[in-house]
Copies of this chain bind each other. A is one copy, B any other.
Amino acid sequence: MIDAIVEGDVLKAVTKAMVALVSEARFHFKDDTLHSRAVDPANVAMVIVNVPRDSFEVYKVDEEKIVGVDVNRIYDISKSIKKGELVELILENETTLKVKFGSVEYSVALIDPSAIRKEPKIPNLELPAKIVLDAGEFRKAISAADKISDHVIFRSDETGFYIEAEGDVDRITFHMSDAELIEFNRAEAKSMFSVEYLKEFMKVAGTGDILTIYLGNNYPVRLIFDVADGKAKVEYILAPRIEAE
């Protein structure tokens, strides 16, 4: 039996992060954390989600459990939870997850975990540049880039962190210097990515949320979002695109 109570915003953020890539996923109720990860059908991006035990009001896990979940369904339900309201997740048997908040109780059918695509191994990436910034700024840059191109270049050097996009006639440069970044190791790195994916990722983050980027050279990027007031961590790993230069 599992009984977990958490702020609705945490459930919303976590399921929103997953639906960007998949519609079904395994959720691991571990002793110390609620964990999930998945790769999108095209094998371009991975999402890794963790909600530590301390972020829950109640976290009673008699026995570690892996359940298969229709994340679209849970995300849909979580959208009707009011700001600040708590939600209770109850697992009494293998077939049903109860989701309770306010006067409403949903009984959601679970999916056999073995019917869900195998979970990815988290890769070990050596990424020289570390950039920490306000996720809201990142969101603005990606939104702007999206209007003129379907790919962007992330670039960092001594002068700061750059996001660049080039359209048929226009160009846009987003630049944050050392002073404007929360943390920055000034390392050189440069890779190109698909805006299509970044656009989905940025939806999990709001102004004030912190985003940590680990960037390499023509290498995958790691984007780690602290969401729901820091109560959950959402990490995306995105494969680079090849520059046609």
Binding site for B on A (CB under 8 A): 73, 76, 80, 102-109, 137, 140-141, 143-144, 147, 169-176, 180
Assess whether A104 is in contact with B141, with CB atoms less than 8 Å apart.
yes
A174 touches B107 (CB 8 A): no
Task: Report Cα–Cα, A198/B171, bound state, in Å.
Answer: 35
Stoichiometry (number of copies): 3
Q: Pick the contact of A172: B105, B137, B140, B169 (CB < 8 A).
A: B105
Known: A76-B147, A147-B76. A170 touches B107 (CB 8 A): yes
| A100, closest chain B residue (CB) | B173
B170→A108 contact, CB < 8 A: yes
**CB-nearest residue of chain B to A109:** B169
- The residue in chain B whose Cβ has the minimal distance to the Cβ of A171 is B107
User: What is the distance, in angstroms, from A173's C-beta to the closest C-beta of chain B?
Assistant: 5
Q: Give, as a whole number of angstroms, the nearest-CB distance from A134 to chain B.
A: 10
Considering the chains assembled together, what is the distance between the CA atoms of A176 and B172 in angstroms?
48
Give the residues in chain B near A169, CB-CB below 8 Å.
108-109
Could you say which of B105, B137, B175 contacts A175, with CB atoms under 8 Å apart?
A: B105
Chain B residues closer than 8 Å to A140, beta-carbon distance: 80, 102-104
In the complex with contacts A140-B80, A144-B80, A147-B76, A103-B170 CB distance below 8 A: no
A-B contact pairs, 12 of them (CB 8 A): A103-B140, A103-B141, A103-B176, A103-B180, A104-B172, A105-B172, A105-B173, A105-B175, A106-B171, A107-B170, A108-B170, A109-B170
- Measured CB to CB, the nearest residue on chain B to A138 is B103
Known: A80-B143, A140-B80, A143-B80. A172 touches B106 (CB 8 A): yes
Q: Do residues A103 and B175 form an inter-chain contact, with CB atoms below 8 A?
A: yes
